[in-house]
Structure 1
Amino acid sequence: MIYRQFTQNMILLTKKNHWCNGAIQFARMLNPDIEVHSGTADTPFPLEPGRKTKVLISFLSPWIIPKHILDNVQDAQGTAINFHPAPPEYPGSGCYNFALYHGVTEYGATCHHMEAIPDTGKIIDTIRFPIYNCDTVFSLQHRTLDHMLILFYRIFPIITKNICLSETLEGSKSSETSETWARKPYLKKELDKLCRITPEMSKEEIERRIRATQYPGRNDPCLVFQEREYILKEPDK
């Protein structure tokens, strides 16, 4: 069923990749009038300060949504939600990295209401899957984004239907969950610290850090020795 004749303005903020393209295609199938903005961290934030909308969705958005934009959504009695590529145990930056470092056996993705501080709003829904001993940051990221897209497929029709009925997601059963964020969001500086390896660390600790931080093209661990840093690269195969 297409809800076009009932929908009020909806905005989807994404970056440009395979998973975001899937979310965009699905959103446009249910709501051909949805406004989509895709960009990178270097792209200026696309919404003007006074812009109001009924529904604002962030799916891997490269932008931190300004508080005044979230306030505008609230003033319009609307809904602002985000899809986070981690379960509630891992808010913030470096979520894949810390999960692998901690050796957890389960991971997932989270849909939640947006607040001014990222990854702190009320949780709407989660999806979970196992982590394997052979997982790397790269493999975990790709499987997470596959599941997060499935979560988007599950949540977006509910959002669209509620807006058609002039309801907000805040007041619907779809916003009810017993899950809460397990801690404060991880910060970029904590991930940078995880990437640092020093000679006094045990072999086990070094191996955990390498597994948790090595990623093709970025986040390579570094050995800190006599105040100098040595980047640890995976050998070419």
Structure 2
Amino acid sequence: MDTIVLLADQDEYGVFAPALYEHNEALKVVLARSAEELMAYDAGLLAGARLIAFASSVIVPVAILAALGHGAYNFHPGPPAYPGIAPAHFALYDRAVEFGTTLHVMTERVDDGAILDAQLFPIVPGTTIVALEAQTYSVLVRQFFAFADVLAAETGPTAARPSIPWGHRKTTRRLYRSMCDIPLDISQDDLDRRMQAFGANRFGMVPTITLHGVQFRATLDPASDSSA
């Protein structure tokens, strides 16, 4: 292995590339921020490369996964129980008592490969989506640094943890959109949970009520206390 392709943003590359160099000075670490940038790398580079994705929403093309000579690994910003997109949002909606991060092998199916490590932490009651995602990101960064040495090594991570299975429900944009579609007969409790989890305008979607063909986008009233 002579190259690591880091699927992340520019700021993350500036932090993680030096950490990888520290463990393998002979490495070349290159950045990709999109599927298009991944596809721009030639077959020769990919044959000698390992891909590391960090909190990325990019779906890696199957052709890229097949071309990589040293595997692909993903740092997922959610625990194994929450594969898919926006895991923190669904965990808050479910009133989960713990959350975490996952390092796993990448395969053709999203969040489906062998799990190498999972870091779990309790969700403090009253935690907001912003706070939960910030805490998760911090844990994910620490997890990256903990595995930087093996990721930079020729052999790479090999010890999967078969005792940790993925959750059965894989969250998608379609599921997220359906959670933002508020039925007229919704209970107060369910509405409160949806507003807490899905009211942050992720993917340009917010809880919406449709009445007689007219859509009403729901927002929280700062003067009210929905828990009262």
Identify the TM-score tier after normalising by the shorter chain: 0.7 to 0.9
Distance change >3 Å, CA 22–CA 92, structure 1 → 2: same
In the TM superposition, residue 117 of structure 1 has moved relative to its aligned partner by: 1.3
Q: Which structure 1 residue ranges, 5 or more long, are not aligned?
A: 1-6
Q: In the alignment, which of 4, 7, 16 is matched to residue 23 of structure 1?
A: 16
Which letter does structure 1 place at the counterpart of 2:114?
Answer: K
Bigger CA drift: 58-67 or 186-195?
Answer: 58-67
Q: In the alignment, which of 91, 94, 100 is matched to residue 102 of structure 1?
A: 94
Q: Is the 8 A contact 1:52 1:69 kept in 2?
A: no
Give the match for residue 73 of structure 2.
81
Question: Matched residues in 2 for 1:20 and 1:196: separation?
Answer: 37
Say yes or no: does 1:9 pair with 2:3. yes
Percent identity over the alignment is 24
Q: In the alignment, which of 85, 94, 107 is matched to residue 93 of structure 1?
A: 85
SS of residue paired to 1:132: coil
Q: In the alignment, which of 135, 138, 149 is matched to residue 130 of structure 2?
A: 138
**What does residue range 13-162 of structure 1 map to in structure 2 within 5 Å?**
13-17=7-11, 21-31=14-24, 33-39=27-33, 44-45=37-38, 47-48=40-41, 50=43, 51-73=46-68, 76=69, 78-161=70-153
Number of residue pairs aligned between Structure 1 and Structure 2: 219
Give the match for residue 187 of structure 1.
172
Give the match for residue 226 of structure 2.
none
The two structures have a TM-score, normalised by structure 2, of 0.85
Distance change >3 Å, CA 57–CA 187, structure 1 → 2: same
Runs of 4+ in 1 over 4 A off after TM superposition: none
Distance change >3 Å, CA 80–CA 44, structure 1 → 2: closer
Deviation per CA, 1:113-164: give whole Å up to 9, x if none: 0001110111010111111222121111111111011111111212223x1x
Question: Matched residues in 1 for 2:64 and 2:34: separation?
Answer: 19
Question: Matched residues in 2 for 1:46 and 1:29: separation?
Answer: 27
In the TM superposition, residue 57 of structure 1 has moved relative to its aligned partner by: 0.6
Which letter does structure 1 place at the counterpart of 2:148?
Answer: F
SS of residue paired to 2:47: coil
Q: Which structure 2 residue ranges, 5 or more long, are not aligned?
A: 224-228
Say yes or no: does 1:200 pair with 2:185. yes
Deviation per CA, 1:167-201: give whole Å up to 9, x if none: 243xx33x334101111421110000111212200
